[in-house]
Amino acid sequence: MAADDSTSATLYRSSIRRSSGVNDIKPRVFLGPIDDYGFDENEELSDAESLLSRPFRKVGYSIISRRESDQSDGYGSMNVLRDGEHLDPQYYYNSPHDFKSIYYRQNMMLKLLTNTLYMLIGLAVAFVTTRLVVLKNCDDSLSDFTITSLDNILMSDELLLFEVMASSRNTNLQDVSIWNMAVDVFLRTDSSLLESPPIISSVSNDIAILLGNSTTFVTPLNFQGILTSDEGVVNGTFTSLPGEIWRRLTHKSEIRPHLSSGQVKIQHPGRNFRYEGEPLSSDQWSRILNSKYNLIVRGSFNYHLPLMPNNNVVSVATEVEVKPEK
């Protein structure tokens, strides 16, 4: 059926193709009346596929494909323009160099984390090994501790001074010194010496007088370790060879006890003692010191070792008879 010229529809076909310029658009081709239109199915199908394959664009945006003229690479990118201003690209194609840089950065971070982990593990192993060595050779308690004697006793109503002689085996590498203590010092004598006038009796009636207590040594007890033992010193020269030190470390039971002395001082001995409600007079002190008496020490010594949270405590109790010099 032929269509009237006044009512016949006029069709046009536009072919929009991507080009290198913004305004480089192929002009529209107007067709004649529909009766004169020759339909090419393959061409129309190709145009439809080209139109449908384009990405969706919002109103006011234009997508322009152009090849960047960067000197470092020749890779293209898709830019988005709005009113002539660049916005964040909706489609962006990364350069292979970018992927290579990301790979190197990730690889560097992985190596850094791995090296840090290995370092922490190495430090932990070194710390545990060092602690085991120290606990085995530097934190052994003193063994076979005994007080052998109390020497050089000097006493008056103003001052008491004496030396404690002690023996012990130290199986540690380092020396062990004892500075602190908590001891009470007593004097035991005949109570008849405190009477005024003195009563001579064939039956002894002893009385204990608390002279005082002490918390620190004036000079400490010092027990030599394996590295500084007198066994390897001749005329002040250290003669122990590494083999001898190794023998002591592996045969600690053969280490001999070491003898040491420490000095104790007590100010105003017996100042808190009362006999029949009265402090001792100078005459009473004179009779006590010019007679035979016993000096008693009871309490504890304490010392500290490396890596040990608490002090080691050694209980002590000794008594010595003191005779006045004629």
Is residue 171 a contact partner of residue 143, using CB atoms and an 8 Å limit?
A: yes
Where are the chain's structural domains?
10-86, 94-137, 142-322
Is residue 206 a contact partner of residue 183, using CB atoms and an 8 Å limit?
A: no
% helix, strand, coil for the chain, step of 5: 25, 35, 40
Q: Using one digit for the tens of pLDDT, what is the confidence trace for 206-264?
A: 899 999 999 999 999 999 888 877 665 544 444 456 777 788 878 888 888 999 999 99
Exposed (0-12), middle (13-18) or buried (19+): which is 238, by Cβ within 10 Å?
exposed
Q: Using one digit for the tens of pLDDT, what is the confidence trace for 15-26?
A: 444 444 445 555
Cα gap 16→311, rounded to integer Å: 93
DSSP secondary structure string for all residues of 72-92: S----EEEEEETTEE---SS-
Would you place residue 62 in the very low, low, confident or very high pLDDT band (cuts 50, 70, 90)? very low
- Which is nearest to 318 in space by CA: 153, 181, 166? 166
Phi first, then psi: give them for residue 92, nearest 5 degrees: -135, 135
pLDDT of 210? 94
Measured at the alpha carbon of residue 78, what is the angle toward residues 72 and 82, in degrees to the nearest 5?
120
pLDDT of 148? 94
Quick one: which H or E segment has residue 97? Answer: helix 96-137
pLDDT of 6? 44
Residue 210 neighbours by CB distance under 10 Å: 15
CA atoms in the 13 A half-sphere facing the CB of 120 = 6
Q: Is the pLDDT of residue 269 over 50?
A: yes
Say whether domain 142-322 belongs to CATH 2.60.40. yes
Grouping H, G, I as helix, E, B as strand and the rest as coil, residue 191 is helix
Global pTM reads 0.58
Cα gap 232→220, rounded to integer Å: 23
Cα gap 49→15, rounded to integer Å: 12
Say which range, 112-121, 128-137, 178-187, 195-204, has the weakest mean pLDDT: 195-204
DSSP letter at 34 equals: G
Is residue 220 a contact partner of residue 178, using CB atoms and an 8 Å limit?
A: yes
Number of helices (H) and strands (E) in the chain: give both, helices first. Answer: 4, 14
pLDDT of 147? 95
